[in-house]
Amino acid sequence: MIMEFLFTILAALISIVALGLVSVIVFEAYRRSLNNAHVDAPAIFEDPKSLKQVPCPDIFDPAKKYLSLIIPAFNEEHRLPGALNETMNYLKKREAKDKSFSYEVLIVDDGSRDGTKRVAFDFVKKYGVDKVRAILLGKNHGKGEAIRKGMLHSRGELLLMLDADGATKVTDLEKLENQIHAVARKEHRGDSAACDTTFKISDIPIVAFGSRAHLEEKAIATRKWYRNFLMKGFHLVVLLTAGPGIRDTQCGFKMFTRSAARKLFTNIRLKRWCFDVELVFLCKWFRIPVLEVSVNWSEIPGSKNSNVEN
């Protein structure tokens, strides 16, 4: 009887959350149809060498880099250095092999109270402000808002969001990148697009979600029953709000073409963990193709989200 009562309470709570989330997203979609403007104060970043404040680029500007990597960070002074070192080593090696490859790394400090800002500026000083930039939000707004800020002020043709803990290997970005290019070629005059000099990957809206869904079976076997129940409940919420199609919405490893990022991040409203679900909703709203690509993932000590599917 007690177990049945608990399941009833949990089911009721999940239904309430699902209904609330559906209402919020539908309301925001309606409000966007009336007023699509999203007003922001001008964003700036500081060059630690000259101490000059430099205006950030805008997502509506033409791309000046091939790849932008956006890393939201909140109180990550201990894990951020390792993730950044791995990321920069990969990017430098790729740049050395391919002279046409260009990149930038944007670290968005979401109001950290520890030494995250210092770590970020250490990397800016080491690699230069053209390759590594730090955007400071001043106070904590949430991961969704930190990523939105980074996306709106990046310079890449392709934009990758990735977590500060390095749970997903940065080399896996090539899996997402290759899938996006394959779909883009089909979208743009078939497979002949690769030979078309007018073809720009940044102009075709496509999104690739890194996915840990292939790890679900193992996670279910080792996870406590109530966490599995809550996970299934969250999947129900996602199904009701964003519809079917994406098994893992919460993986922090997602890639966007510049065109897709422009549409999505000028319209997204949720600022914290559920922003991933709104991204799926918006992709369907704007009819942007969404690819789900399996990536390697490992749990990092101190991770704020440690479930395979949060």
pLDDT at residue 81 in the model: 96
pLDDT greater than 70 at residue 225: no
Q: With a cut of 60, say whether residue 96 has pLDDT above it.
A: yes
pLDDT of residue 251: 83
Residues 276-305: what's their mean pLDDT?
A: 83
CA distance 102 to 189: 26
pTM of the predicted model, to two decimals? 0.78
What tokens appear for 213 in the block? Answer: 């869904």
- Give pLDDT, residue 188: 74
Q: Which whole-number Å values give the CA distances from 228 to 53, 219, 221, 305, in the listed order?
A: 48, 9, 9, 15
The DSSP secondary-structure symbol of 35 reads -
The structure tokens 């090539």 sit at 174
For 41-294, CATH number out of 1.10.357.10, 3.90.550.10, 1.10.10.350, 3.40.50.12500 equals 3.90.550.10
The percentage of the chain sitting over the pLDDT mark of 90, rounded to a whole number, equals: 52
Task: State phi, psi for 165 to the nearest 5 degrees.
Answer: -90, -10
Question: Which of 219, 215, 229, 220 lies closest to 295 in space, CA to CA?
Answer: 215
Q: What does the pLDDT look like over 274-289, one tens digit per residue? A: 788 899 889 999 999 9
Contact 119, 78 (CB under 8 A): no
Given this model, what pLDDT does residue 33 score?
A: 47
Q: Which amino acid would we find at residue 66?
A: Y
> Taking the domains of the chain in order of start, what are their residue ranges?
41-294
- The first and second tokens of residue 107, run together, are 């670290």
pLDDT digits (tens, 9 = 90+) for 103-116: 999 999 999 999 99
E-state strands within the chain: 44-46, 53-55, 65-73, 103-109, 132-136, 156-161, 207-211, 254-257, 290-294
pLDDT higher at 222 or 61: 61
What's the confidence (pLDDT) of residue 274?
78
Cβ distance 148 to 38 under 8 Å? no
> In the predicted model, what is the mean pLDDT of the chain?
80
Decide if 136 contacts 109 (C-beta within 8 A).
yes
21-33 mean pLDDT: 52
β 254-257/132-136 pair status:
unpaired
Q: What is the structure's pLDDT at 37?
A: 45
With left for phi above 0 and alpha for psi between -120 and 50, is residue 266 left, alpha or beta?
alpha
- Between CA 10 and CA 135 the distance in angstroms is 40
How far is Cα 144 from Cα 6, in angstroms, rounded to an integer?
Answer: 32
Query: Are 162 and 209 within 8 A, CB to CB?
Result: no
Q: Nearest CA to 131 among 103, 162, 94? A: 103
Read off the pLDDT of each residue in 1-24 and give the average, rounded to a whole number: 56
